[in-house]
Amino acid sequence: MKKFLLALCGVAFLWCGGASAAELYAGENALLAEAKKEKGLTSYDTGPTWANWQALFEGFQERYGIEVAYNDLGSGATVVRLDKERNNPQGDSAYYFMPSGEAAHQKAVTEPFKPVNFDKIPDILKDPEGNWFCVHKMTVVFVVNKNLVKEMPKGWNDLLKPAYSKSIVYLDPRTAGIGYAIVLACVYAQGGDLDHPEAGVEYLAKLQECGNVRMIEKTTEFDKFVKGEIPVWITYDANAYRARYIAGLGDAVEIVIPSEGTITSPYAMSLVKGAPNPNTGKLWLNYILSEEGQGLFARGFVRPIIPGFKIPEDVADKFLSDADYTRAKDVDWVKAAEVQTKLASLWGSKVLGED
């Protein structure tokens, strides 16, 4: 009886907390009522230490009283898992690097759904029917250890100077998505595009030939940067903010959005086709695209996907300015994924001299 009463009190509390609070969007309480008839929520590939997912889990649970079960598979593995489970889906939502969202769509394992603020997401960052839509993005930047580098680079061309001899580290584009994003950033910075990538790859070949590349890594370099082993690291801005504000390097870290321009790397989500808890999945996706959810990404130093989103005051002054971010271009990552093998091979040939 005691257990029953506690459970009853819990339900009453949840309803009270969910229904009495001001709605984040029209219809939120009605959707919550339907979600309460289901059995929870499973969110694929939202590892809690990446992109501030832990804070979103906690915010969702606090608002709705629904705990988020998750896994941390990786983007490609998530698509494979959804395909294997197509006849008995176990996940309610899926999160992945944007091209994997389209890959999941092509395998018909996604359910069209347009969450709140869907209309505000740029067309290039969503499927028009809502089979996938981006929820946040990262930007390719330079992260400079000021204890090791005295002359701050302003752009890609500066990195060719002798001052940066054996200083630059980035990831291999054949094995890491960030590495491929860096190649694309160079392509666009050199005036090219996905149909004309040659100048960008030639730039990276020059960077290699002049001896300024210290290392091309196959796995994340975060710990090496924090230990002071990397003078100039080309990576995502989220890693830079993490090094400055979470790892405690503070003002020793300079973050540079290259003057010639760079690109963004967006991450997408989908409602799973045949999800066991579809209304809870919709509630979760709406929460992520709500002002509260987008603000939690920002507090994890991840840029919200909604253009012009007002960064919460407690972290706003920690980000580079919006004016700096105007140099970061959104690109068609679905098309980019289609040419990735060819472009990565070109990089291997021109930069490493491989056949």
Q: What is the mean pLDDT of the chain?
A: 93
User: Rounded mean pLDDT of 27-42?
Assistant: 98
User: Rounded mean pLDDT of 339-344?
Assistant: 92
Contacts 24+ apart (CB under 8 A), 79-88: 79/103, 79/104, 79/107, 79/109, 81/44, 82/44, 82/107, 82/109, 82/110, 82/272, 83/107, 83/109, 86/273, 86/274
- pLDDT single digits (tens) 279-313: 999 999 999 999 999 999 999 999 999 999 999 99
Q: Quick count: other Cβ atoms within 10 Å of Cβ 10?
A: 11
Closest CA to 87 of 113, 108, 112: 108
- Residue 206: which H helix or E strand, with range? helix 198-209
Could you tell me the sign of the dihedral formed by the alpha carbons of 284, 122, 197, 236, in that order? negative
Alpha-carbon span 212 to 232, nearest angstrom: 10
Name residue 325's amino acid: Y
Q: What is the pLDDT of residue 3?
A: 38
Closest CA to 16 of 36, 1, 2: 36
Lowest mean pLDDT among 154-158, 218-222, 273-277: 218-222
Confidence of residue 10 (pLDDT cuts 50, 70, 90): very low
Between the alpha carbon of residue 316 and those of residues 176, 230, 309, the distances in Å are 30, 27, 11
- pLDDT single digits (tens) 51-74: 999 999 999 999 999 999 999 999
* Share above pLDDT 70 across residues of the chain, in percent, rounded to a whole number: 94
Q: What is the pLDDT of residue 20?
A: 55
Task: Give this prediction's pTM.
Answer: 0.88
Alpha-carbon span 280 to 64, nearest angstrom: 10
Q: What is the pLDDT of residue 15?
A: 43
- What letter does residue 107 receive in the DSSP assignment? T
User: Rounded mean pLDDT of 86-100?
Assistant: 96
For residues 174 and 218, is the Cβ–Cβ distance under 8 A?
no
